[in-house]
Amino acid sequence: MNLEKIDAGLHPELKRPPDFDFDSLDHLKSRYNFLKNYANLDTNKDIRNQSRILYETILSNVLKTRNIYLLYLASHSDLSTLSENTQLDILKCINKKQEDISNNFSSSFSQCLLLLIKNFHEEPEVFAQIVYSYFSKDISDQLYFGYSTFPAIFGYFSSQEFTFKASRFILELFSIDEDFILLESVLVPFLLSAHSFLEDLWCQFHKLCTMTLGKFDEKRCYNILIESLQNSISLLTNSHIFVIQQLIIRFPHKSSDILISQFLYKSFNMVFTCGSVILPNGAKKFTNSCFQNILSTREHEIQQKIFDILSGNSIFTDNLPKQPTTFLFKRYPFIFSFEDIKLIYDILIDDNNYKSTIQSMSSEISNFHENKNVFEVDMFFSYNQKKKLNNNVVFSRSWNSIVKESQRKNICPIDFFNDLKKNQQLPLLCMSFEFEKFAYQEIVEKLEQELINLTFLIDSAVENEMYKSYSVCLERLYDICLSWNSFTVVESFDLIKGEFQICDLINIVKSSALIVFSDIDNISLFPFHLLCSILDKYKILIDGPILNLQNEFVQHIYSSRLTYRQQISSYPSGLMIVLRYAHNLSNALDESLGRRLVAIIEFTKTIILVAESTDNELVNDFFNFGLFAIKNRSLLGSFIVLDKILNSGFTFTDQYMAELNYWNIFCSKLSITYSKIFDFQEKLMKILFV
């Protein structure tokens, strides 16, 4: 038994005293009397269950992050440099089901792969030199390496430890890649792995924008950006900050493009072009101008201020999960596509450091032809456990018999042993001082192990919650990346643009959707996002009847707002959440049609969640309050236009049923709410069925 490992796994108050002597019977008895108050638990079943749950959560996060990086790759502006993959080729790989690597390759193959990965982690200077040498001769797969293979090697940066190991690799490249041949392809994906930082940054930015009074201009947007960065910087890991520091020192001429254009500005555009939150009128326009001026070097002081914040020494908030280190959690999932494995093979094939390992993998790689397959392979952790100090086979056999009999009688083993000894019912061997010491050594080790198991259960539950929290962040980012790709996909089609009457727009949207949807094999991946991106291309001409109803609606609505606020006043937190999303929808109604639809769906989802977390019977009251809090006269016109489009007989509606269900809930609640203040339903029907 590894006694040092056991003692390290215990809570400080439960650790052995500094003067504890494992060979002293008095010390052992004292230790036993202390431990029996805390232990004697059967945690083995719980351990197995908790280990499984933690493993599945980590695996889920790794798979989500892989999808996010593929979406980054699919929308990359330099995608044409890839040797084979197009945007649609990459999109087909999203959500591809992983297989156990042992189903396709020998056990020796997977062992070789894991050995390579461990070597890359332990010798980043060697790996960096090999990778640089390869890509300095051939850049065709450089982007794929940066957005797929490099993240896969380092566990998709899913823990603090893997993020640190990836940063060491990049820092080695800084010393080698003086011409910046490979660095950009790994730097940008690594920086974009700061998911929690970026999410919090733009949440802070949105919050400060919505709190701002008066009109926006570039100076105001710059000040909000700086304040948001200062508020969020603690969520940027030390590994990211150290890489940024070295980038600014070693490559100052590249820092603006990497840190501002490809890191901050890119994520800003993605979040506020495709995310569910909408900036107030003018904020996005002037922030875009602000970024463009910073990048044009006209605002050198502003640029330097951003660099100072990103490279400063902040206190990192522990938001990125740590890799479980206990010896009770023994494996960590890695995900590789066959293209990743093949690229690793190609990079190493001419290098003497890994020649024998690569040669042993050669035939299986040559004979495998399913290039798009995705494999799961587990890296097992090894722990050096010392042999038991009290390794006496004869004593052990006798003690096990006593334990077994005590369990049958439902008596504590040490109490049972002491009773037998007192009554002289033990064999002569078991009556000795040495056997008694052995018995106490065994029971103390057992109780300490039970306490370690309990500590693991508590710690792993906390770790699992952190991984789950991180997972929610990944889900939101994944959705934004899907929307961004749908935006770029739709832009690649030569679709009609312009401003149309409703009847013309319905037919144009349907024909555009058929063109886009029929050309994408993996359409089930993001039908709703594609539909919204198609809708974003068109503007609507609101005709007379809709305008008249909209004006009448505005006259009635403001007088009823206070009544519904009073009905849910006992739930202030829920009220504030609904109010925030109502304001978000108000801002969205000045945006394109697709953005309006996304905001309406988010508004509806949020109110349902708020009602579920407070009082389901108040769902109508929350909807009433939320609808009356929307301060934009375009709501009714947008509702009528979108409802006509969504219910015009699309053949692909079954591919976005969840969103359509939320839309129908919104329609129902809106009709009920507004019918209470004027004859809305009757007038609406006349327009909808024209």
pLDDT block averages, 10 residues each, the chain of length 690: 48 74 87 78 75 89 95 86 76 86 91 94 95 92 95 95 96 93 95 95 93 86 95 93 95 93 95 87 90 81 92 73 69 93 94 89 86 87 56 87 89 89 88 91 85 78 84 90 83 72 73 68 65 81 71 64 61 85 89 89 92 82 85 82 77 66 89 70 58
- Residue 377: its H or E element: strand 374-380
Q: What is the pLDDT of residues 258-272, one digit of tens each?
A: 999 999 999 999 999
Determine, yes or no, domain membership for 163: no
Could you tell me if 665 and 585 lie in one domain? yes
Which of residues 320, 350, 380 is at a domain's end? 380
| Residue 603, both tokens | 């508004």
Q: What is the pLDDT of residues 199-252, one digit of tens each?
A: 999 999 999 998 887 888 889 999 999 999 999 999 999 999 999 999 999 999
Determine, yes or no, domain membership for 264: yes
Could you tell me if 260 and 344 lie in one domain? no
DSSP letters for 121-140: HH-HHHHHHHHHHHHTT--T
Give me the pLDDT at residue 2, please: 44
Alpha carbons 170 and 160: distance in angstroms, whole number: 15
Alpha carbons 198 and 286: distance in angstroms, whole number: 20
Alpha carbons 426 and 402: distance in angstroms, whole number: 9
Determine, yes or no, domain membership for 182: no
User: How many domains would you assign to the chain?
Assistant: 3
Three-class SS of residue 453? Answer: helix
- What are the Cα distances from residue 260, in Å, to 203, 218, 254, 265, 304? 18, 16, 10, 6, 11
Contacts of 252 (CB under 8 A, 6+ apart): none
Kindly tell me the sign of the dihedral angle through the C-alpha atoms of 452, 454, 460, 462: negative
Give me the pLDDT at residue 433, please: 92
386 and 3 Cβ atoms separated by less than 8 Å: yes
DSSP H helical ranges for 589-656 = 593-613, 619-628, 635-646
Give me the pLDDT at residue 455, please: 78
Could you tell me if 94 and 216 lie in one domain? no
- What are the Cα distances from residue 546, in Å, to 219, 570, 685? 39, 37, 11
Which of residues 362, 380, 398 is at a domain's end? 380
Give me the pLDDT at residue 482, please: 85
Could you tell me if 667 and 524 lie in one domain? yes
Determine, yes or no, domain membership for 125: yes
Burial 617-631 (b: 16+ CB within 10 A, else e): ebbebbbbbbbbbbe
188 and 263 Cβ atoms separated by less than 8 Å: yes
Could you tell me if 300 and 335 lie in one domain? no
Alpha carbons 639 and 583: distance in angstroms, whole number: 16
Give me the pLDDT at residue 1, please: 40
CA-wise closest residue to 536 among 476, 491, 581? 491
Determine, yes or no, domain membership for 287: yes
Could you tell me if 68 and 125 lie in one domain? yes
The whole-model pTM stands at 0.83
Three-class SS of residue 527? Answer: helix
Could you tell me if 298 and 342 lie in one domain? no
Phi, psi angles (nearest 5°) of residue 601: -65, -45
Could you tell me if 268 and 374 lie in one domain? no
Alpha carbons 365 and 110: distance in angstroms, whole number: 12
Could you tell me if 655 and 613 lie in one domain? yes
Determine, yes or no, domain membership for 29: no
How much helix, strand and coil, in percent to the nearest 5, is found in the chain? Answer: 70, 5, 25
* Residue 301 CA, distance from chain mean position: 34
Could you tell me if 230 and 122 lie in one domain? no
Give me the pLDDT at residue 647, please: 77
686: left (phi over 0), alpha (psi -120 to 50) or beta: alpha
Give me the pLDDT at residue 677, please: 64
Alpha carbons 618 and 550: distance in angstroms, whole number: 27
Could you tell me if 358 and 289 lie in one domain? no
| Residue 176, both tokens | 């080698």
Alpha carbons 166 and 160: distance in angstroms, whole number: 10
**Helix axes 300-310 and 283-295, enclosed angle (nearest 10):** 100
Alpha carbons 473 and 267: distance in angstroms, whole number: 14
Alpha carbons 451 and 445: distance in angstroms, whole number: 10
Determine, yes or no, domain membership for 36: no
Which of residues 310, 338, 362 is at a domain's end? 310
Give me the pLDDT at residue 446, please: 85
Contacts of 478 (CB under 8 A, 6+ apart): 64, 67, 68, 71
Determine, yes or no, domain membership for 403: no
Could you tell me if 515 and 638 lie in one domain? yes
Domain range for 204 is 192-310
